[in-house]
A and B are shown apart, each in its own frame.
Chain A
């Protein structure tokens, strides 16, 4: 979260400053990718890129604080997820696991990055075992940093239902983590 200086950063980005937009992107994109990798893992990167394209298209017209900014970006992303799911039912795609390993792009420090991300990946894997609504509500509250009311508007539920889903998801997550015995 950027915090106090968000308004100035946003105004500078809307005025055309690359540095300001870079700050916005670096603050928002990791959370966006983590959210997408849980709820739509097959197309997370594509949907994130499309989200930024749509966000940039309307960036000059955006007005609001940091909460509204994040709610706007995640709402855009969620709608793209819904569109991608509709497309997938009409036109099935070959999953990436069918591609031979030799054809996958590799980087020199891929193993190091994997070791660094192991805890985050394990946490996301455990979160993915939750019912979809509970996982999404926890991600939006924890990763995106949205308030209960904003999450309720985003997923189309009441704030009470969101609160109940989040609490049940946390209890379920505690049970899953305890059962797995994974030290994060």
Chain B
């Protein structure tokens, strides 16, 4: 039969574990403490003795550290109670932050849509007036499939701009309706107002029709720098779009005075040959 020597503990004694546990738990020494444990009880009592002076000597350092990190002197503390935010305040702050973020995102989205011209008509007009977004007619649907209200709004806006620029408004006939303006007889562009220039005088052309000049319904607003010359009566040519071509040609004439003036028939005068031919010699 095997022998298990560790079953009999070498340091075992008759002392109960309860007595040891009682010695560790508190300063009271159990009444039934064995005589062999009395020296240990005395050692534990010495370990539990009241603090000595050197054990409290570093209190000043600890208090200075406390003052630096956490504390305030009690006199100041009485006059300035520390406020701790409540749970409700914290939740409200979080809600306000979320709401502010939502509002910011919404405003940013609306502004982006306004600059992209994706807003409905009235909203786009409002954005145009308030934040300088593009006007609604300039960003209208490219296919022209806007609603009738949108088209009416665009026309009204164009009228507004025309009035601001020319000081009057000449109603333009609707292009879909067949009328006399679609005939071969040219009519002056209602929005074109000749600006006087001393170096440019349009010459009459023989092939021009001698039909009486239509009475302009648009009287330009008086402008000190734009006094119309009485002799300068533009007579449009059927092959020339007065609004674009004349302005373009006039601009070139002013910029390059040596160039010939505008040809009344609309075909430009050939330029004199110049030596600045970009094609190098030897090449055909």
Contact = CB atoms under 8 A, between A and B. Distances in A.
Contact of A29 (B45, B55, B70): B55
A113 B62 contact: no
Contacts of B40: 170-171, 173-174, 177
A24 to B, nearest CB: 10
The secondary structure that dominates the A interface is helix
A127 B43 contact: yes
A105 B45 CA distance: 30
Contacts, number: 136
B46 interface: yes
Contacts of B63: 18, 21-22, 25
A139 B47 contact: yes
Interface string B53-79: 111101101110111011111100100
B52 A116 contact: yes
- Chain A: number of interface residues, binned into ranges: 35 or more
Contacts of A60: 70
A181 to B, nearest CB: 9
A16 B78 CA distance: 11
Contact of A174 (B39, B69, B70, B74): B39
A127 B15 CA distance: 20
Nearest to B17: A167
Nearest to A18: B71
Interface string A1-37: 0000000000001111111011001100110011000
Interface of B: 11, 13, 15, 17, 20-21, 23-25, 36-40, 42-49, 51-56, 58-59, 61-63, 65-67, 69-74, 77, 82
9 contacts: A16-B77, A17-B74, A29-B58, A117-B54, A142-B48, A170-B20, A177-B40, A177-B43, A184-B43
